[in-house]
Structure 1
Amino acid sequence: MIAMTEGLKQFCIKAINMPAKNLALIDVYFKPVKLRKKAFLWKEGEICSVIGFLTQGAIRHFFCKDGEEKKLRHFARKHVFHRL
């Protein structure tokens, strides 16, 4: 099984030519999180304090008003950094 951080490591090698000695830091500072379909990373009233790297699937960022989804603010696909 490939570690969940491998996608991030490959991205760092390609995008910024990160030296191999620094790749180990990814395992220190990034922790894998699995979400089910339609799960929330955070909800109203919670403060976002993470930066994410999607390795599989897609994610959308929207807000609700009066119980209805009002506006899609961001749609993200895998292998891109996201400020969640």
Structure 2
Amino acid sequence: MISALVDHIRRYVSLDEQEAALLEEYIEVKEMKKKAFLLKEGEVCKANYFLIKGCCRSYFITEKDAEHVHLFAIENWWITDYASLEKKIPSMFNIQTLEPSTLAILHRDKQDELFAAIPQLERYFRSVLETALAAAHMRIKYIYSQSGYERYHHFSTSFPDFVQRIPQYMLASYLGFTPEFLSKIRAGKIS
């Protein structure tokens, strides 16, 4: 069941069959329904979640009850709240499935033991985090330096799978504008 995760890890580091079998002992695989919460604001995050199948979002809610999406994940992506996970503090985010999803879950209380047993996994997670950090930096740059149309065009050409799977209002939130503005872009009224 975790072959997608093993394949993903092997893109970054070597992992033999014995190590892959050991990894399976540390990973929980869980099926979740659409709109299920992996994490709710105020809870302490206790795991890293790898999407075997499905789609998730991470978002926060402002004082005016507006949802702001800051991260999406689809197959072969990880999602978590690292600040809450590592510092063991209440999360400021919600993580929710957008589709029925299958997740490979690495619980934080098992992570160090797993890294001791398979040391190259630390390098794997470092590579994944470096990629995620670089993407977050680029997203911030795009928000401040590109027009709404440019942000949408860049996102839709870079991640076409997301555009087909994510509700329009969530995509607009992620890109930093209103659903109405996104509708105008998609209708060709803004360029």
Range class of TM-score, shorter chain: 0.7 to 0.9
Find the residue that maps to 2:18 and give its secondary structure: helix
Q: 2:12 aligns with which of 10, 15, 40?
A: 15
- Which structure has more RCO (C-alpha within 8 Å, separation ≥ 6)? 1
Q: Which amino acid aligns with 1:37?
A: K
- In the TM superposition, structure 1's runs of 4+ consecutive aligned residues that sit over 3 Å from their partners are none
| Unmatched tracts of structure 2, length 5 or more | 82-191
Structure 1 residues 14-67: Cα deviation after superposition (integer angstroms, max 9, x where no partner): 332212221012211110121111111121221111011100111100011347
Counterpart CA distance in 2 for 1:56 and 1:69 is: 28
Q: Which protein has the bigger strand share? A: 1
Q: Mapping of 1:1-84 within 5 angstroms?
A: 3=1, 5-66=2-63, 68-84=65-81
**Given residue 46 of structure 2, which amino acid in structure 1 is its aligned partner?**
S
**Residue 3 of structure 2 aligns to which amino acid in structure 1?**
E
Give the TM-score of the pair, scaled to structure 1.
Answer: 0.80
- Percent pairwise identity: 26
The answer for unaligned runs of 5 or more in structure 1 is none
Alpha-carbon RMSD across the aligned residues, in angstroms, is 1.8
> Comparing both structures, which one devotes a greater share of its residues to helix?
2
TM-score w.r.t. structure 2 length? 0.39
**Number of the residue aligned with 2:146:** none
Aligned residues of 1:8 and 1:55 also touching (Cα < 8 A): yes
- Distance, in Å, in 1 between the alignment partners of 2:11 and 2:63 is 44
Q: How many residues align?
A: 81
- Alpha-carbon distance, 1:76 to partner: 0.9
